[in-house]
Amino acid sequence: MTSDRAALWAELREWRRDFHRHPEFGFEENRTARLVAERLRGFGVQVTEGVGGTGVVGTLRRGRGNRCIALRADMDALRIPEQGERPYRSAKPGVMHACGHDGHTTMLLGAAKVLAERGEFDGTVRFIFQPAEEWGKGALAMLGDGLLERFPFDEIHGIHNLPGLPVGEFRTRAGAVMSAEDNFEIVLRGIGGHASRPQSGREVLVAACTLVVELQTIISRRISPAQTAVLSVTELLTDGTRNALPGLARVLGDARSFNPKVSEEIEMWMRRIAGGIALSHDCTVDVTYTREFVPTINDPAAADAALGAARVALGEDHVKMLENPNTGSEDFARFLEHVPGCFAFLGNGETSMPLHNPGYDFNDEAIPFGVDYFVQLVRQQLSPSGSPA
């Protein structure tokens, strides 16, 4: 058993490093998806490819139970040039696995292998390998391709590695666990002109700067202090140049919150403030406000189930409730809009570089913990002896 496990971890580490060496951007995960499908078939899992672009769904049935649990991993990499000299560094210039999706894919393959070989559950497991998480588009693409109708399931679970948290540690919480991400672009249009004669045009830079400052009042003055939200202006671009006042300014940024109502309020106040500033500066304004990611809201029962399975798999002392939601965003949230489930965090080590950093690397030591957690979760939720724990 121990040597079996050691052999499994060694094999999974090789797979993870191979995925790392061959990163693929969202909706281009052709090699990754092909390897995932081949390996799942090799374990005896029924496989459907091309779900929502490059997505792969594996189905594994045991016994007669009619409950179905879905486990999800993401497969895409980022357009970030990798730094560092590790032997399995990215072979594709400008693209790297800087978010650990190589590790997520590997851990789910490991769980599929163990569950296919040893079973010990009664019902159906769906293994969902999704494309394009970083774009916030992959989950929607799979849902739009009939995921829920073609491969129905009762609950869904996923994990993300967390730099800074020791390896072998597990965290999650009921309710909001990751934030919404909204993007905005505000375009002010006036009339540019000579820097020496501002009165003869309708320049927009002062209006844009006023707007940047006024936007800061949305979170501090308009949103209830009981809510959590953040709004950041990240770019201010104009068509001005030395000695020419701009006639066009673009103010871009990002807002995050954990409640769809708060996101609506931010948009409403942004439109009102932008309109008022445009009026007082005699220019016109267009506000584009888009919701890239919805908040990730864990179902309380699913979060309890996840914490319970993690306590068995990782040990009581290594599993804690996450105190505060994470202000990052995840398109796993799109699945949770339809089916109850839980998204959880697994330690990537205290010395891990942050996610999306060019020096980041998924920690192979975390693989056994992710595999054991998924396997235990399936056995618990599809318990042959009756109802889920």
Structure tokens at 128: 């969902």
In the complex, minimum distance from the CB of residue 162 to Zn ion, in angstroms, rounded to a whole number:
10
Residue 137 phi, psi dihedral angles, 5° rounding: -120, -20
In the complex, minimum distance from the CB of residue 79 to Zn ion, in angstroms, rounded to a whole number:
12
Strand blocks (E) in 82-145: 123-130
In the complex, minimum distance from the CB of residue 133 to Zn ion, in angstroms, rounded to a whole number:
6
d(CA 123, CA 106): 23
Indicate if 286 belongs to the active site: no
Q: Is 177 in the site for Zn ion (CB under 5 A)?
A: no
Segment contacting Zn ion (CB under 5 A): 92-100, 271-279, 338-346, 366-374? 92-100
Q: 24, 29, 76, 82: which one is catalytic?
A: 76
Which residue, 169 or 331, is less far from Zn ion as judged by CB? 331
Which residue, 55 or 123, is less far from Zn ion as judged by CB? 55
Segment contacting Zn ion (CB under 5 A): 14-22, 99-107, 197-205, 332-340? 99-107
In the complex, minimum distance from the CB of residue 99 to Zn ion, in angstroms, rounded to a whole number:
3
Give residues 336-365 in contact with Zn ion (rule: CB under 5 A). none
> By Cβ distance, which residue is nearest to Zn ion?
99
Cβ 362 vs Cβ 161: under 8 Å: yes
Which residue, 269 or 335, is less far from Zn ion as judged by CB? 335
Q: 74, 82, 133, 155: which one is catalytic?
A: 133
Q: How far is CA 241 from the centre of its chain?
A: 39
Cβ 322 vs Cβ 171: under 8 Å: yes
Structure tokens at 36: 């995932």
Segment contacting Zn ion (CB under 5 A): 5-13, 41-49, 97-105, 252-260? 97-105
Q: Three-state DSSP class for 211?
A: helix
Could you tell me where the DSSP H helices lie in 218-361? 260-280, 300-314, 333-336
Q: Is 99 in the site for Zn ion (CB under 5 A)?
A: yes
Strand blocks (E) in the chain: 46-51, 55-62, 68-74, 123-130, 155-162, 170-172, 175-178, 180-189, 193-194, 229-238, 244-245, 248-257, 284-293, 296-298, 319-321, 341-347
Q: Three-state DSSP class for 176?
A: strand
Which residue, 159 or 319, is less far from Zn ion as judged by CB? 159
Give residues 263-302 in contact with Zn ion (rule: CB under 5 A). none
Which residue, 99 or 273, is less far from Zn ion as judged by CB? 99
Cβ 138 vs Cβ 53: under 8 Å: yes
Beta pairing partners, 320: 171
Residue 378 phi, psi dihedral angles, 5° rounding: -65, -45
Our CA angle for 78, 109, 121, nearest 5°, is 140
In the complex, minimum distance from the CB of residue 130 to Zn ion, in angstroms, rounded to a whole number:
11
First to last CA, the chain: 26
d(CA 291, CA 180): 8
Indicate if 28 belongs to the active site: no
d(CA 366, CA 237): 43
In the complex, minimum distance from the CB of residue 249 to Zn ion, in angstroms, rounded to a whole number:
30
In the complex, minimum distance from the CB of residue 174 to Zn ion, in angstroms, rounded to a whole number:
22
Between β-strands 244-245 and 229-238, what pairing exists: parallel, antiparallel or unpaired?
Answer: unpaired
In the complex, minimum distance from the CB of residue 333 to Zn ion, in angstroms, rounded to a whole number:
13
Q: How many residues bind Zn ion (CB under 5 A)?
A: 1
Binding site for Zn ion (CB under 5 A): 99
Q: Which residues are catalytic?
A: 76, 133
